[in-house]
Amino acid sequence: MKVTVIGTGYLGATHAACMAELGHQVLGVDTDVKKLERLASGSVPFYEPGLEEILQRNIESGRLSFTDSYAEAAEFGDVHFIGVGTPQKKGEYAADLRYVDSVIETIAPLITRPATIFGKSTVPVGTASRLGQRARELSPAGEALEIAWNPEFLREGFAVQDTLRPDRIVLGVDRNRSGQAEKVAREVYAPILKDGLPFLVTDLATAELVKVSANAFLATKISFINAIAEVCEASGADVSVLADAIGFDARIGRRFLNAGIGFGGGCLPKDIRAFMARAGELGADQALTFLREVDAINMRRRVAMVESAKEFCGGSLLGGRVGVLGAAFKPESDDVRDSPALNIAGQMQLQGAAVTVYDPKAMKNSRALFPTLGYAESAIEACEGADAVLVLTEWDEFRKMLPADLDDVVRRKRIIDGRNCLDPQTWRNAGWAYRGVGRP
């Protein structure tokens, strides 16, 4: 099939490469010419395991190319995916829809034959219906231009795997008109549907809500365990053991119950806020007031970590040296958007500490976002002369670190494990003061 993917960020670039991998002819579309040049040369502008290989393979086979021309895209594709960003509006909770709006405003007038647009971006409920109406107004194809919503559930770090082997496909279609969207989607995804993958066809509103509800649930699960961690800290209990114990209950499940410095990234924080804002517009704000608490618990973890580091350093960070291991919002990613790790590093610096950060992949992005922090080329270098070491992203490299690696490097043997990813006994036995989150 001839497919375009509009927007070549984390979501769009992955989707474009994976659609080509499924055998389709794919055109990736973006307004950022530099990014397009880089992608076209086979280089992924962010770190995503396995993606570069698929990108290169499909460029070489001639199935994947890139353009900044919407006219070319409209001419090329019978199927168009929208994968542009929906960030949080500045100073507001609501999502900024200018990029999705602009895609429709630009491409719809150029589409002259029957086509299907599948929105993948995370949008407030009601957006797809509105965009559909606008697209039909603008396009010479009129009613023959269909809009459906096909939310994306990919996790950064597992983006390729999640796209090629998703756990479900959700498709929202306009129930008020008879269209081809389901048939088209089944053709697009045919190679992955074979394995009996759940394929749920819903109305547009449900599909939009599925995505934000999933993210709200995940955020709630993390803040739940972080709230329990606070009680564990107050009572001397161990939240890691507690999470294991409750996680054996299949109704609860152990995943996403890791206490620590909380969630960040380009999705969870802004999605729960946009969800609250949209519920408010719909007069259902009471339904989601609990998400305010989820957000508050999450943001409190960052402040608590800074306080914990301060206490650990004898009551003040002023003049202290802190080695921070990890800057990405999670391992296997170079994404530092709303990263708790980098946020904590910044706050400690504001309180007078000399902070040196090391991350295996996120150095470039960290430097761009927080240029005034100190940066090191390795974990060891970041910890040189440190009064405290903070592990804030649970990269394998840090999990595997041994006290002996740092014994002669630091000034004081103090380690704070912001992700509960180290073995406390190993460090304590080696003479280190160890502090985790919600652990005695």
Active-site residues, by number, are 267
Q: Does 85 bind ligand UDX (CB under 6 A)?
A: no
Q: Does 215 bind ligand UDX (CB under 6 A)?
A: yes
Q: Give the count of alpha carbons within 13 A of 251, CB side only.
A: 0
Alpha-carbon gap, residue 341 to 432, rounded angstroms: 22
Q: Does 300 bind ligand UDX (CB under 6 A)?
A: no
Q: Does 438 bind ligand UDX (CB under 6 A)?
A: no
Q: Does 329 bind ligand UDX (CB under 6 A)?
A: yes
Phi, psi dihedrals of residue 106, rounded to the nearest 5°: -85, -45
What are the strands, taking DSSP E only, across 46-177?
A: 64-67, 79-82, 115-119, 145-149, 169-173
Residue number with CB closer to ligand UDX (39 or 154): 154
Q: Does 399 bind ligand UDX (CB under 6 A)?
A: no
> How large is the angle between the packed helices 204-235 and 239-247, nearest 10 degrees?
130
Alpha-carbon gap, residue 347 to 310, rounded angstroms: 11
Write down the least CB distance from residue 89 to ligand UDX, Å: 19
Residues 143-172 that bind ligand UDX (CB under 6 A): 152-156
Extract the tokens encoding 145: 């231009």
Residue number with CB closer to ligand UDX (183 or 255): 255
Q: Does 346 bind ligand UDX (CB under 6 A)?
A: no
Q: Decide if 30 contacts 8 (C-beta within 8 A).
A: yes
Write down the least CB distance from residue 282 to ligand UDX, Å: 23
Extract the tokens encoding 36: 């397009």
Residue number with CB closer to ligand UDX (154 or 181): 154
Nearest in space to 366 (alpha carbons), one of 338, 388, 387: 338
Q: Number of residues in contact with ligand UDX, rule: CB under 6 A?
A: 20
What are the strands, taking DSSP E only, across 30-168?
A: 64-67, 79-82, 115-119, 145-149
Residue number with CB closer to ligand UDX (129 or 258): 258
Residue number with CB closer to ligand UDX (36 or 391): 391
Query: Residues 93-132 vs ligand UDX: string with x where CB under 6 A?
Result: ----------------------------------------
Nearest in space to 24 (alpha carbons), one of 67, 84, 78: 78
Binds ligand UDX by CB under 6 A, chosen from 121, 223, 258, 365: 258
Residues that bind ligand UDX (CB under 6 A): 152-156, 215, 218, 222, 256-258, 260, 262-265, 267-268, 329-330
